[in-house]
Copies of this chain bind each other. A is one copy, B any other.
Amino acid sequence: MKRYRNGEIWDFEHEMPVMGNEVILGLDGGTTSTVCICMPLLPVSDPLPDPLPVLAKAVAGCSNHNSVGEAAARETLEQVMADALAKSGSNRSAVRAVCLAVSGVNHPTDQQRIVKWLREIFPSYVRLYVQNDAVAALASGTLGKLHGCVLIAGTGTIAYGFTEDGREARAAGAGPILGDWGSGYGIAAQALTAVIRAHDGRGPETNLTSSILEKLGLSSADELIGWTYADPSWARIAALVPVVVSCAEAGDEVANKILFESVQELALSVKAVVERLHLCGEDGKDSFPLVMVGGVLEAKKRWDIGNEVINCISKEYPGAVPIRPKVEPAVGAALLARNCYMKEFCKEL
């Protein structure tokens, strides 16, 4: 096994007594943080225990190679895996499978590159699976099964789907310039725009004006221009979504229109994936999991964007089974690793 260049990351393996039981690692690497879960390798024959026996969880910073660069992303991922193993009193020799689900993995070449350096850390018998982070979100709802459609709507949005025979499709996830209008960023940018348009006479008056200006500590809609371009980070703008929801709940028409349109946009992404994969079958009534993840869908307010999206989808596809995952995506990744490992293991028998 690889010794880390400064010898620190894996030093714990020599310093502590180690359990002998086999484990799996699941990683969810997003643009803000990276989570690693260490779980025991559960026998395939048994039903999954509830709650799931998580041995340890470790958290680190961003591991999107597009954001922080390849070297920093690798170091973050390696460190978070070592932390999870150390916390669980285990080490690399106990690992049987790793599922690494990270944002920014879109092409087979991305996967191959990451598998290659993971292989420097783990010996050849360890199964390595590299996926887009949307896949971990799906698996967190299906408890490891790659079937159905996941809709993620946080700062950004993407719909990702898999069929049981291994086909996959995605919709949206192309960022704000390229039309991810149902995302948190999309909702908030529409709200800011509505304020500007009301101010300069292009649009109707809206309570979004006073609510947003108060939230940002500004005194005039003019000042929104400076605020917006001073730091146009997507998450900073998306943080205004709760203000939009509050205004809509209080009856503001402009805010309601923005939220209704975002529901349509989000539902459209799901429909595009369902249609391309024929997830609803020939008669349109087949059952499939519809996993809902992300801050925009978890609002738990009276104006519940997630529920509205589900209503919209269910009308068209009565077989859609909405799931709001009880476990986090990194657990989904771990369960995915377990399922893939078991499948391959059974094939070999």
Contacts and interface: CB of A to CB of B under 8 A. Distances in A.
Interface of A: 106, 169-172, 174-175, 177-179, 189, 192-193, 196-197, 200-202, 222, 224-225, 228-229, 232, 237, 268-269, 272-273, 275-276
B196 A178 contact: yes
Contacts of A174: 193, 196, 224-225, 228
A177 B201 contact: no
Contacts of A269: 200, 202
Given A174-B196, A174-B224, A177-B229, 6 more contacts: A171-B200, A172-B202, A175-B229, A177-B228, A178-B193, A202-B269
A106 B200 CA distance: 14
Given A170-B200, A200-B170, A175 B272 contact: no
Label chain A's interface by main secondary structure. helix
B232 A201 contact: no
A178 B240 CA distance: 14
B272 A177 contact: no
Contacts of A106: 222
A177 B275 contact: no
Given A174-B225, A225-B174, A179 B201 contact: no
21 contacts: A106-B222, A169-B200, A171-B201, A171-B202, A172-B200, A174-B193, A174-B196, A174-B224, A174-B225, A175-B228, A177-B189, A177-B192, A177-B228, A178-B192, A178-B224, A179-B193, A179-B196, A201-B272, A201-B273, A201-B275, A202-B272
